[in-house]
Structure 1
């Protein structure tokens, strides 16, 4: 009998077919989470109108989901180190389904925003737990090609979500954007329940409640300040100062508490490891670049080159296609050769060149530059995003792989929020300055220009002279935003260069845990990523024995056997 636990109680093994089936369930769950964030983008004006909301409603529908997704990610990751990953995935899917149902039935703005907050919590779990579950059943050496497929799904969901959402909204109504993902989520729950074989953990006796609450409060305050500053309130206002200072104080208190508790939700000692620290810095930088390109390139096409929303979306197809190719092909090559560092360096280099080309954008820049830059950005992101998580998982202790994996996602999202907020403010200031200068040179008063403060310009309604001024201003402003993004791409490149070129392990997370519990021989320690220091090993084994228990097919009671990778 393959793919199950032997009768003598050996560690659970999975055949190649069972691994692929379990991976398919994880992928479906990940796709559901991604679609929840992208499918509503094209429906937002209709949603806000039908619910009789305002601009604040639209902002919170987007920001609320982003807020809870980002804040909950590290907490889900830590829970994955304490409890059964399969149950946690199903809980995250259940929360997501509840949020989706509530959003579909919402009949006023407050209910819609609350539903999106709930949906975001489930999405955070899906994003964090999917990568942790993959680490359980697939070794780092084999994980490259699976991470490549995972990256392709991320890109497909992100790019295809707005198109799907627009079609559904125009045909059967925006509420079905929330309803349609529910049966897909149910399918994911069923597949995960039937096919994902993971150990059962008893969990820690002392959960870091204080750290969790402080982390939620700190990051929520920071994100609210960054997301709404300059829009809902002025940056120099009293509310802005209170939120900014409050965020700093809460972050400091959180770090103090996390450095003292026994089982922190964000283990600060991981930052002593060079690979983890460099990967986190690279993830922040990559997040800044990703969001800059995805948001500001669209604004450039629509407000500087007069493209429609559909046209602005189509201009990103070369980037999407190259991202898909790079993530799948490079992932397969990493699994085949075990070499990963060259691809991270190559990806960061291509990303730097691509963003530098975008920094030259102006109102009259040839489209050739865009068609050359966007594929380079796509190739760079395809080589970087999922493989940064792979490197972190390979270097982390199996007992903290959840916290380590979720950290890359968390900091990438945090970088995205910083990019949208800070660069958005830079763009707004630069555009206003350029428009004022252009109107003065043309002898046109602002009041007579047809431009409204606080709103994006409606180009077809403007006179030719004013329209040319606006298009030139946005061309200049967006180009400068990309110029400010270049240093972050360079930082990501530097981080990849200085990452230790560690060999990818050949054991799954289940086998590594079994090795710790069952007193792994010292000559095998390098392959399971457990430090050689005997005291450290003893502490990790004690933790594993304290946290691990199981029955039936989930129990480890004897020496780990290698996974059966033959086809069933």
Structure 2
């Protein structure tokens, strides 16, 4: 396959026939990255039972999140320096190796170690896909692919629990990791054969000081948000120490970036208000729209008594709302080039949705709760990838990977904060609600941490179970109430964004047109090898 021609700026003139298989590979890779977290969560109870590691339960997820968060901005810069294709394939290789090792694990300690390897690969998947879209297409043309991300997220979120349960029950939990191998091989083939990008290898030194200090800040802050208020008190020496470490590492990171010749996160990007506000908006979306999903599933299963399979169908309309709004907004953006209205509507409608969700209790009819969730899902889809588009729209070509990496990191960082914050609020309230609502002694001999299990709930007397359901509903209310001021802040952020039009051309280049294939490499660039 011959390489498409490239402009001096690094932009491509892709032909739909040539780019379609490559984009299928990119979208399948993104689907794998999202699916992995969903199917592993379903299999975790069986995993810790087989490997006898209930005390290490959370670290199977924490290790993965930390590794992916640390490497995401690094992959973005590596793509800028050494080419996006080789960076993407390297990330996929790590992800597949980590998946194979995780599937073969015989102990919790080994599994956690191999999840770090898998997470290091996963950190490069999303940033590479976003960077490739930004390089292959103008921001306006790429709008349709950003819309597909909403569909992929919804599909993986819906299919994940079912696939994870099926693989665990029919085969074994090992296959929730091993399933990545054949699908990953397809991705590898499609990218190797059909993805052709100009590789601009620049003579430079990696920003090792930036990598170390950023990693220290991310690890410290992720551990802080994971442990504070849940495993350790906010005022404990461990949490205070993590907070101080995060602040010191962040300060050293800023100093390192101001001095580095090729910084991981160029500080000059923050001079662009569109980039800065887009990053803040992305963090808000991660905190609220992604961080709260687990708690909606908890409401459906515990408060309404739905089985895991039924809960998937109950959440389906919400995810369909996300898909419809994401695809619809992407089509409008592609046609008009205007995007600001959608994140503004997303935050405003999200406030309405969060307020509606905060009113749900054990007596709320299921159809009503479904309608409330649809509003919330629709709000989420309106801003699913808009902030990334906005940031890429004003980014210099040489910083495209860094911008995509920071945007991807912002969402995962926000998600980590959201889950930790909401978990702290929920669990802090749950104990008091159970004590106040459940008759004394009614739960004697019952593990309070297992009350969300259907088998445990089914074993309770009807009045006791109803009291537990009410307690869970009451503990979930402040979760959605807390989301409201965060969304208000997001609304103010989006209102401050400039009402720019997405470019329909590359920096320094003309309008996008299809160009005939050529066997000659473009001037100043070489096609990336497989």
Q: TM-score, normalised by structure 1?
A: 0.85
**Superposed displacement of residue 303, structure 1:** 2.6
Q: How far does the alpha carbon of each residue in 1:508-553 deviate from its partner, in whole angstroms, 9 at most, with x for none?
A: 4xxx3xx4xxxx7xxx8xx99xxxxxxxxxxxxxxxxxxxxxx975
Matched, 1:44 2:11: no
Which residue of the partner structure matches residue 377 of structure 1?
376
Quote the residue 1:22 is aligned against: 22
Instruction: Supply the distance in 1 between the matched residues of 2:521 and 2:51 (Cα, whole angstroms).
Output: 48
Find 1:461's aligned residue among 438, 459, 462. Answer: 459
Q: Distance in 2 between matches of 1:5 and 1:401?
A: 19
Instruction: Tell me the equivalent position of 2:55.
Output: 55
Between 1:208-217 and 1:494-503, the stretch displaced more is 494-503
Aligned residue pairs, count: 517
Deviation track 1:244-287 (CA, whole Å, cap 9, x = no partner) reads 22222222222222233232112222222111111111111111
Matches of 2:94 and 2:151 in 1, distance apart? Answer: 25
Q: For the residues of structure 2 that align with 1:488 and 1:235, how far apart are their CA atoms?
A: 21
Equivalent residue, structure 2, for 1:73: 72
Partner residue in 1 for 2:421:
422
Which residue does 1:533 correspond to in 2?
Answer: none
> How far 1:11 moved relative to its partner?
7.6
- The answer for the alignment partner of 2:95 in structure 1 is 96
Match of 2:498 in 1: 500
CA distance in 1, matches of 2:410, 2:246: 16
Q: Tell me the CA shift for residue 84 of structure 1.
A: 0.7
Mapped to 1, the partners of 2:216 and 2:237 lie a distance apart of 19
Deviation, 1:557, is 4.9
* 1:132 is the counterpart of 2:131: yes
Gapped regions of structure 1 (runs ≥ 5):
529-550, 559-568
Counterpart CA distance in 2 for 1:258 and 1:552 is 40
Give the CA deviation at 1:3: 6.6
1:449 offset after TM fit, Å?
4.2
2:293 maps to 1:294: yes
Whole-Å separation in 1 of the counterparts to 2:205 and 2:31: 33
Indicate how the Cα distance of structure 1 residues 553 and 431 shifts in structure 2: closer, same or farther if over 3 A, else same: farther
* TM-aligned CA distance change 1:553 to 1:36, over 3 Å: farther
Cα distance in 2 for residues equivalent to 1:373 and 1:497: 25
State the SS of the aligned residue for 1:106.
Answer: coil
SS at match of 2:259: coil
**2: CA distance, partners of 1:231 / 1:348:** 29
Determine if the alignment matches structure 1 residue 555 to structure 2 residue 522: yes
CA distance in 2, matches of 1:293, 1:165: 21
CA, structure 1 residues 366+198, in 2 after alignment: closer, same or farther (shift >3 Å)? same
Q: Which residue does the alignment assign to 2:236?
A: 237
**Residue by residue, what CA displacement relative to the aligned partner does 1:330-377 show, whole Å, maximum 9, x if unpaired?**
212211222222223223322222112101122222334312221122
Q: Is the 8 A contact 1:144 1:332 kept in 2?
A: yes
* Residues 135-185 of structure 1 deviation map (CA, whole Å, 9 limit, x = unaligned): 111111111111111221122112211211111111121212222221211
Q: Distance in 2 between matches of 1:373 and 1:222?
A: 33
1:344 and 1:383 in contact (8 A); partners too: yes
**C-alpha separation between the residues in 2 aligned to 1:264 and 1:12?**
26
Moved more, 476-485 or 343-352: 343-352
Residue among 467, 474, 477 paired with 2:475: 477
**Does the C-alpha gap of structure 1 residues 173 and 344 become closer, same or farther in structure 2, counting only changes over 3 Å?**
same
Match of 1:535 in 2: none
The offset of 1:232, in angstroms, is: 4.2
Q: Distance in 2 between matches of 1:291 and 1:278?
A: 19
| 1:50–1:11 distance in 2 versus 1, CA, 3 Å | closer
Rg larger in structure: 1
Taking structure 1 as reference, are residues 5 and 254 closer, same or farther at Cα in structure 2, changes over 3 Å only? closer
Distance in 2 between residues matched to 1:381 and 1:445, nearest whole Å: 42
Give the Cα separation in 1 of the matches to 2:11 and 2:237: 59
Q: How far apart, CA to CA, are the structure 1 residues paired with 2:290 and 2:382?
A: 17
| Counterpart residue number, 2:528 | none
- Report the RMSD for the aligned CA atoms in angstroms: 2.6
Residues 241-390 of structure 1: pairs in structure 2 closer than 5 A: 241-390=240-389
Write out per-residue CA displacement over residues 355-404 of structure 1, whole angstroms, 9 at most, x where no aligned residue. Answer: 12101122222334312221122222212011211111111111111111
Instruction: Give the match for residue 148 of structure 1.
Output: 147
Q: Which moved more, 1:453-462 or 1:320-329?
A: 453-462
**Alpha-carbon offset, residue 481 of structure 1:** 0.8
**Which residue matches 2:156?**
157
1:463-513 per-residue CA deviation (whole Å, 9 max, x = no partner) reads: 3443333222211111111010012222222222221111211224xxx3x
Counterpart in 1 of 2:210?
211
Note the residue ranges of structure 2 that are not aligned, 5 or more in a row: 513-517, 526-530
- Distance of 1:490 and 1:426 partners within structure 2: 19
Correspondence for 1:541: none
- Assess, with a 3 A threshold, how the Cα gap between structure 1 residues 2 and 92 changes in structure 2: closer, same or farther: closer
How far is 1:116 from its partner? 0.8
Mapped contact 1:356–1:482 kept (Cα < 8 A): yes
> What does residue 401 of structure 2 align with?
402
- Of 355-364 and 455-464, deviating more is 455-464
Q: Residue deviations 1:415-448, cap 9 Å, x none?
A: 1111111221111111212222234xx5x258x6
Deviations 1:4-60 (A, max 9, x none): 339x9x98532122122221121122122222222211111111122222232x211
Q: How far did residue 240 of structure 1 move?
A: 2.6
Is contact 2:3–2:519 with CA below 8 Å preserved after alignment? no
Q: Is the 8 A contact 1:198 1:554 kept in 2?
A: no
CA separation in 1, counterparts of 2:119 and 2:158?
A: 19
1:2–1:14 Cα contact (<8 Å) kept: no
Instruction: Give yes or no for contact 1:11–1:555 (8 Å, CA) kept in 2.
Output: no
SS at 2:140 equivalent: helix
CA–CA distance in structure 2, aligned partners of residues 281 and 191 of structure 1: 34
* Cα distance in 1 for residues equivalent to 2:171 and 2:411: 35
The residue number in structure 1 matching 2:515 is none
